[in-house]
């Protein structure tokens, strides 16, 4: 079955330990990879939806990502805003293959 998505290899899973996050550049795109506290890997646009500040400069504690600029908080499991609640991170589809993280970017 063809999903219509084109995945690109971003990194090896062991490059981002559980409970950590890291930015990677792939094919001209930058992506924030979060290995959430629930053990799953998620991929997000690396810029805060508030004013575009780099989320990698924020803090990740348990499953809460706090932007370093204005302290907006996001649940990295769902991508939804915690404070404020009417926002969300831009997420990308992720699949795991042979110990690596693959992400589908918007076309």
* Structure confidence by residue, pLDDT tens digits, 47-58: 999 999 999 999
Contact predicate 50/70, CB 8 Å: yes
- pLDDT at position 22 is 98
Would you say residue 27 has pLDDT above 90?
Answer: no
- Convert 38-72 to b/e letters by CB count within 10 Å (16 or more is b): eeebbbbbbbbbeeebebbebebeebbbbbeeeeb
Number of domains in the chain: 1
Does residue 1 fall inside a structural domain? no
Domain hosting residue 55, numbered range:
7-104
Does residue 36 fall inside a structural domain? yes
**Spatial strand order in the sheet of 94-97:** 7-12, 100-104, 94-97
DSSP 40-58: -EEEE-SB-TTT--BGGGS
Does residue 46 fall inside a structural domain? yes
Domain CATH number, residue 57: 2.102.10.10
Contact predicate 76/28, CB 8 Å: no
Does residue 95 fall inside a structural domain? yes
User: Residue 95, SS3?
Assistant: strand
* Structure confidence by residue, pLDDT tens digits, 49-99: 999 999 999 999 989 999 999 999 999 999 999 999 999 999 999 999 999
- pLDDT at position 68 is 96
């Amino acid at each position: 079955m063809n999903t219509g998505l084109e995945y690109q290899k971003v990194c090896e899973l062991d490059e981002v330990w559980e409970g950590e996050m890291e930015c990677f550049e792939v094919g001209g795109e930058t992506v924030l990879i979060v290995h959430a506290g629930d053990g799953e890997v998620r991929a997000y646009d690396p810029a805060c939806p508030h004013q575009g500040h780099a989320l990698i400069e924020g803090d990740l504690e348990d499953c809460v990502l706090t932007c370093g600029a204005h302290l907006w908080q996001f649940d990295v499991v769902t991508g939804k805003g915690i404070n404020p609640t009417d926002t969300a991170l831009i997420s990308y589809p992720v699949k795991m293959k042979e110990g690596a993280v693959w992400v589908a970017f918007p076309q």
